[in-house]
Amino acid sequence: MRLAIISDIHGNLEAFTEVLRDIDASGIDEIFCLGDNVGYGPDPEHVVGIMRERAIPCVMGNHELGIVDPLSLDWFNPVARRSLVLTGRLISAETLEYMRGLNTFMVKEGCLFVHGAPPASISTYLFELTHSQLFQLARTMQQDLCFVGHTHDLGYIRLDEEESSPMVLSEGIFPLAADCKYIVNVGSVGQPRDGDNRAKYVVWDTTAGTIEVKFVRYDIATTVEKILRLGLPSVNARRLW
Ligand code: ZN
């Protein structure tokens, strides 16, 4: 089976649409999403609409949490907070209800999906975990593979009894070793922060035991124009270039 894993679309309809086009042309059996469908970008309602229409299984991100639980807004930096307050005005009651229903993690195909870090953290950044916390995860994580988003940086950590090795991922295919556990960060569709302005997602081939990293070009100018027109923080637009 070939499964596409996407994350951190952040209301970027142009990036999401191009990624879906790429997925639809790549013989993918199912799509899974790691949350943060909204925040920063101009099209939260439309992005969630497509997500629901295509019935893409999705977990909750910290930006969904910021919308459904306003008390959690304190956790965000001023730019993200301002974006979320505006995002709240751009979504319908149905979208809000949909977000409330998202779980903090899901297990599919024997694999764990979570926004921040295993086993079920929405807000922990992978880089915050110490060596000993990673060893603990290697011992307790029931699945051999976990996909996360949240940092907007592609990479993976291989967990075994002796070491945990964080690695950066770039475009291409890499094999998963059979005797190791992995946490794979799939990067961001709609708000990349890795110095390359293309949308990112990964394809997990469960039969071949490989992860393929995909970079997709999209119409950045249109997204930027919408962000500025709506009065979202201009840094949200600048970041996309
Ligand atoms: Zn995010």
Please tell me the distance between residue 150's alpha carbon and the centre of ligand 1 in angstroms: 5
CA 84 to chain centre: 17
pLDDT score of 88: 95
Query: 2-238, superfamily in CATH?
Result: Metallo-dependent phosphatases (3.60.21.10)
Please tell me the distance between residue 7's alpha carbon and the centre of ligand 1 in angstroms: 8
pLDDT score of 38: 98
Please tell me the distance between residue 136's alpha carbon and the centre of ligand 1 in angstroms: 25
pLDDT score of 138: 76
Please tell me the distance between residue 93's alpha carbon and the centre of ligand 1 in angstroms: 22
Please tell me the distance between residue 34's alpha carbon and the centre of ligand 1 in angstroms: 9
pTM for the model: 0.96
- Rounded distance, CA 228 to CA 224, Å? 6
pLDDT score of 155: 94
Question: Would you list the domain boundaries of the chain?
Answer: 2-238
Please tell me the distance between residue 24's alpha carbon and the centre of ligand 1 in angstroms: 24
Strands of 149-197, DSSP E: 154-159, 164-168, 172-175, 181-186
Please tell me the distance between residue 75's alpha carbon and the centre of ligand 1 in angstroms: 14
From residue 239, alpha-carbon distances to 17, 40, 92, 144, 213 in Å are 19, 10, 27, 34, 21
From residue 83, alpha-carbon distances to 31, 43, 77, 214, 234 in Å are 27, 12, 10, 28, 10
How many C-beta neighbours within 10 Å does residue 204 have? 23
Residue 150 has pLDDT above 90, yes or no: yes
Q: Are 38 and 62 in contact (CB under 8 A)?
A: no
Name the residue with higher pLDDT: 63 or 194: 63
Average pLDDT over residues 68-75: 90
Strands of the chain, DSSP E: 2-6, 30-33, 105-108, 111-114, 145-148, 154-159, 164-168, 172-175, 181-186, 199-205, 210-216
Average pLDDT over residues 102-109: 97
pLDDT score of 233: 96
